[in-house]
Amino acid sequence: MQGFNQGFPQQGFPNQGFNQGFPGQQPHNPHQHHHDKHKPTHHVIGAKLLTDQVLQSGQTLQAPHHTYFLSLQHDGNLVLYSSTHHVSANAIWASGTNGKGHGPYHLRMQDDGNLVIYDSQNHAIWASDTHNKGAKGHFLQVQDDGNAVIYDGDFKPIWATNTNRGKEVIGDRLKTDEALHTGSCLKANGQSYYLKLQEDGNLVIYNSSHHDSSNAIWSTGTNGKGQGPHVLRMQGDGNLVLYDAHGKPTWASDTYQKGAHGHFLCMQEDGNLVVYDGHSKPVWASNTNRS
């Protein structure tokens, strides 16, 4: 079996300039919106910003299962941290906008697809330059792999911080509309069976915590297909699909509209990977049960 262990090159920004800033991207034609009432707080409001939603100064987005935080600081800097301790040593990306404009600030996921930081005078100080890119229904997601990504309405990525750190286990299952990102794993409860989405695009089941080819018992054989980072999505239509960075499918379980709604994927204690429908009836399996 080939292509099971291709390594994980670290991506991200050098650990500098997060308190004193580094040159960020300049906004390109950001479309301004009405002023918002600013109520600075210091708490997590979720893992994503949907269209027309706002992150205020002092607020934070957090990855669903891991300690990655995207924080809009009171100094105007938008910073992605890899720890609950929001200090420069744990910063892996920043917009470099500290001290620009006048606070308080807000970050808006606009309906035109552009993600923009505005100051209190509604002047844009940074933007993702994604105006009118992709289908309507854009959202910003902080992922379990450490990447912050803007997806369009078709779930195609159009911008990212490129800080994929490959966080490990997120649980034993994917529910409807949940996703497994590059470098992350599902792990069977109480047993050492792992489903890992690798950096090379291959989806592999290992029977050990040592993820090398000698411990691989199943794979999609998709290493080298498409452009990373990849994502495995348990879709609402019942299909389990592996997508590349351009939203192109590289593998699917072919379970589209099979069974009742409410599908989920489970990495089982017997080593079998199974897609169940909403009535807990299996509609697909890797057939790797070892018990």
How confident is the model over 113-129, as pLDDT tens digits?
999 999 999 999 999 99
pTM score of the predicted model = 0.52
The CATH code of domain 173-285 reads 2.90.10.10
Say if residue 13's pLDDT is above 70: no
Q: How confident is the model at residue 1 (pLDDT cuts 50, 70, 90)?
A: very low
What is the percent of the chain where pLDDT is above 70? 84
The predicted structure's pLDDT at residue 210? 84
Query: For the chain, what is the mean pLDDT?
Result: 84
Q: How many CA atoms lie within 13 A of 248 on its CB side?
A: 8
How confident is the model over 54-66, as pLDDT tens digits?
999 999 999 887 7
Confirm whether 44-160 and 173-285 share one CATH topology. yes
CA dihedral 131, 137, 142, 148 (to 10 degrees): -30
CA dihedral 101, 103, 107, 113 (to 10 degrees): -30
- Rounded to whole angstroms, how far apart are CA atoms 113 and 116? 10
How confident is the model over 80-103, as pLDDT tens digits?
998 888 888 788 899 999 999 999
How confident is the model over 137-146, as pLDDT tens digits?
999 999 887 8
Say if residue 20's pLDDT is above 80: no
Query: Would you state the CATH architecture of domain 44-160?
Result: Orthogonal Prism (2.90)
Q: Higher model confidence: residue 41 or residue 276?
A: 276
How confident is the model over 160-198, as pLDDT tens digits?
998 876 556 788 999 998 888 887 899 999 889 999 998
Please state the φ and ψ torsions of residue 254, each to the nearest 5 degrees.
60, 45
Token pair 């500098």 in the structure block, residue:
16
Say if residue 104's pLDDT is above 60: yes
- Rounded to whole angstroms, how far apart are CA atoms 281 and 133? 40
- Rounded to whole angstroms, how far apart are CA atoms 215 and 209? 9
**Hey, where are the domains in the chain?**
44-160, 173-285
The predicted structure's pLDDT at residue 54? 97
